[in-house]
Structure 1
Amino acid sequence: MTIDEAIHLESYDQQWADRFSEELQTLTREIGPYTAAIEHFGSTSVPGMTAKPIIDILVGVENALHSSEIIPRLTAMGYEDLGEAGIPGRLYLRKRGGFAYNVHIVLFRGDIWNHNIMIRDYLRAHAVEAERYSEIKRRIVSQGTRTLLQYSDEKNPFVEQLLGRAKAWKNGVQSE
């Protein structure tokens, strides 16, 4: 069981939001009592963005102990448990099939939660930044990157800069 997998990019698809909504209904039914919030994040959650056609779902928990209730329910739904998968404080599960989903279980309103939501909201509010990020992702793939880990490593410097801009934007929005 390895986190690395082949990747490809697709142009934005309106159905990504629908796929999230459908999976959200199932997740809410199966794990809702153990969660503080469930959000669509990542590039598939930003209209117009080029993305891997995998719906990323952020599951916020108030207490890490809730993960022991959530994980067996997700594995029963066909999710593969990959543990922290290199990111301390996050439990990563994926489901592949007709549609592809990643679930990231994190502390609700912790740094991982906040940073991912902040980047999503920033990209939704700044179409030029979303297009810039899409261009960088397309360039990485056009230069021969075909696996998840290499792709993530190559885009990470831009994502770190993006997070800085998202934090500044959020702080500016809050002070208005």
Structure 2
Amino acid sequence: MADYEVILKQYDPLWRTEYQQEKDRIAAVLREKILDIQHIGSTSVEGLDAKPIIDIAVAVKHLVIAEDCAAPLRAIGYEYVHKPEFPSRRFFRKGTWRKGTHHLHMYDLHSADWQNNLLFRDYLQNHPRVLQQYCKLKQALAAQHPADRTAYTLAKAPFIANVIELAREETRRQ
């Protein structure tokens, strides 16, 4: 089932600036409710082609805190989007449906999802060969699924899972 177009852009250093500006806005409205904010996803990895959407991970002590964050986030342009298929995170979007500019993913600080996002990002940043493999895979999948972001995302999942496992192994060896 087609959902919407997959458009990849070459890495843009302005994505880091956009993230930092948004991080400051989020921190200003959520203050003590949050424990950490991280830039995740492909826009956080220098040299990686990406959909031009800034992905931001926000860690909280307990996921129920997300309910207290909805109103302050709405004040800076974020909309809560209920995603029952992802029970271990809360998702907020900035921008209109299918044209969002920022995605905010809220996780429990000690959750596997929080850790996996950081492991994946950091592994790509520290392993240029794997980064290039992922970039080529994304380009091929975007060509294969140009109007179906769901299929594109699902097709990347085995590669991502493998990289997370490599990152875990590397962490255990250290």
The TM-score with structure 2 as length reference comes to: 0.91
Amino acid in structure 1 at the alignment position of 2:68: E
Segments of 4+ in structure 1 off by > 6 A?
none
Trace 1:145-156 onto structure 2 (pairs within 5 A). 145-156=146-157
The residue that corresponds to 1:69 in the other structure is: 68
Q: Deviations over 1:58-112 (max 9, x none)?
A: 0000022321111122123222211235212111111127971000011013111
Determine the C-alpha separation between the residues in 2 that align with 1:169 and 1:145.
34
Provide the residue aligned with 1:46 in structure 2.
Answer: 45
Q: Which amino acid aligns with 2:110?
A: R
CA distance, structure 2, for counterparts of residue 70 and residue 8 of structure 1: 30
Asked whether the equivalents of residues 7 and 146 of structure 2 are also in contact (C-alpha less than 8 Å), the reply is: no
What is the DSSP-based 3-state SS (H/G/I as helix, E as strand, rest coil) of the residue aligned with 1:100?
A: strand
Answer yes or no: is the 8 Å Cα contact 1:118–1:170 preserved in 2. Answer: no
Q: Which residue of 2 aligns with 1:165?
A: 166
For residues 1-176 of structure 1, the aligned pairs below 5 Å read 5-96=4-95, 100-173=101-174
Mapped contact 1:90–1:105 kept (Cα < 8 A) = yes
Distance in 2, matches of 1:41 and 1:64, equals 18
Give yes or no for contact 2:145–2:152 (8 Å, CA) kept in 1.
no
Asked if the contact 1:38/1:58 (under 8 Å) is kept, the reply is yes
- Assess if the C-alpha contact under 8 Å between 1:43 and 1:50 holds in 2: yes
Distance 1:146 1:170, change over 3 A: farther
SS in 2 for 1:114: helix
- Residue range with higher mean Cα deviation, 90-99 or 70-79: 90-99
TM-score, length basis structure 1: 0.90
Contact 2:10–2:47 (CA under 8 A) maintained in structure 1: yes
Cα distance in 2, alignment partners of residues 105 and 99 from structure 1: 17
Unaligned runs of 5+ in 1: none
The unaligned stretches of length 5 or more in structure 2 are none
Structure 1 stretch displaced more, 88-97 or 40-49: 88-97
1:17-46 CA-partner distances (Å, limit 9, x unpaired): 000000011001011221010100111111
> In angstroms, what is the RMSD of aligned CA positions?
1.7
The 8 Å contact of residues 37 and 59 in structure 1, kept in 2 or not, is answered as yes
Aligned-pair identity in percent equals 28
Contact 2:48–2:135 (CA under 8 A) maintained in structure 1: yes
Residue identity in the other structure for 1:169: E
Give the 3-state SS of the residue equivalent to 1:103 in structure 2: strand
- Distance in 2, matches of 1:109 and 1:125, equals 23
